[in-house]
Chains A and B, each alone.
Chain A
């Protein structure tokens, strides 16, 4: 007997017809984060301890700004997807659970927009 559900059968099913959407988004963002976070960790080494002028100069490359904005959007999305699962699993009270998930999702969106704006401000010098 095979205990694993074939992916093809799980697609688009479930009570919300959402099926594997959450699972797939988590995998897809994790795949993107492998190169992005390695790039970011290596980059931090280049600007570790740098003063403001060199940090700004580092970010004023279109390629770096693009990668950093991608990293921000994907990392916050991946983070809130993961936090959602953890909250769903460990918070017993349903009202608290839903409130916590909403808070995490709103906060993740707020922070990713704020961070992307910060990158844009630095990149175009506004």
Chain B
């Protein structure tokens, strides 16, 4: 291949990775959500774990995305980890910064913790199939990246936006507008920072250790990449034993002494090719069998690290198998309210909780900010999964954005007209708390906001009118609950449907003609 210089591969990898990293990051940190759903879909469909869960319930771009990723891996190895995975690129950025800070420190070959990694993958699969997404959600790279951005960076970009909006607003220039800061739970914030800290630590000191020890996507793709068509191998004739390749290998998978590469751990960054002064490293289609020797240096620090990691992870996950019924009951006035309300398209609490990898893309994108990341509202099995928060807002009648962009199939695509008939919950009216009863004054905020008029007003005492409901046409959007002005608790609220139901169509009655312009004015 004289027309193509192999050392160009690194440059191509960097460009391709940024091509995916930047838009995916913008998806999560742009408080104005400028990227249209169709574009979002294309980018997220290439995320291997969410697409893998999605294809079990829905075929669409996710299926194509998954085929592309598997195809790429069969052909070129785990290039996914260095291009399509935003968490991979994020680690590369840290590794790059580290190179600038500490020029002397170099990587060296370490036998990848194969047994640990694949035991963990097996555990994740068993738990996930068993209905607990605790382990998957704690370790899935795309979702972790999404959670970090949504919960730590987006508030900052919103804040900056608001400063600009404030300054320009003084001159009555409103291209930038103030965006209310989303409420973020402390537990979510702490978890995002803990993961971020762990990731920065691991990548700074151990390169792509996360990808080769904890990442479920890395493990899955590693299984495929060992059969890859193109592989990086050391050309024993050209190699001059300088060891440069091993020093730049952030996946720690090149053992220059024995001229051996553990390609299942290779993340396809091509730094080794670039570093080689001769043609000692080649990217070859030839399937050369390399005997795998099982001798490796014993590394006490790393072993200790994994031991320490494993204990809390396993401890944390075991209760995750518990049924959702054991979810913490929020101190409410009605036991019905203990379950979270899930967005239209998610079919049931169980469907949602079994598929949501908690990437928080919906949280970040929801135009009304009604989607809110819960911590343990779905139980430990559904850690970090979002729910409808009617204190913050309500589900816009005409909006289906979350269903269009959900990468994992937890919220399935639903078109607007169908969505208007999906009943995610029912309104419950607490008469004694209502302004009309308590204060003998008109209010009707609930009925005003109700898009189907499932909440309507009927005569009460004197000229007063009081809400009444027809839950056959209620869709549980939460407009009534959000609008209800009573404090400290709402006189009307949505009780979730654990399995979403079909609402009846709102009643439509043709209005007889009113004032006609051919008549005289009635005054």
Q: Do A and B bind each other?
A: no
Task: Give A contacts to B, CB under 8 Å.
Answer: none
Taking Cβ atoms with an 8 Å cutoff, the residues of B that contact A are none
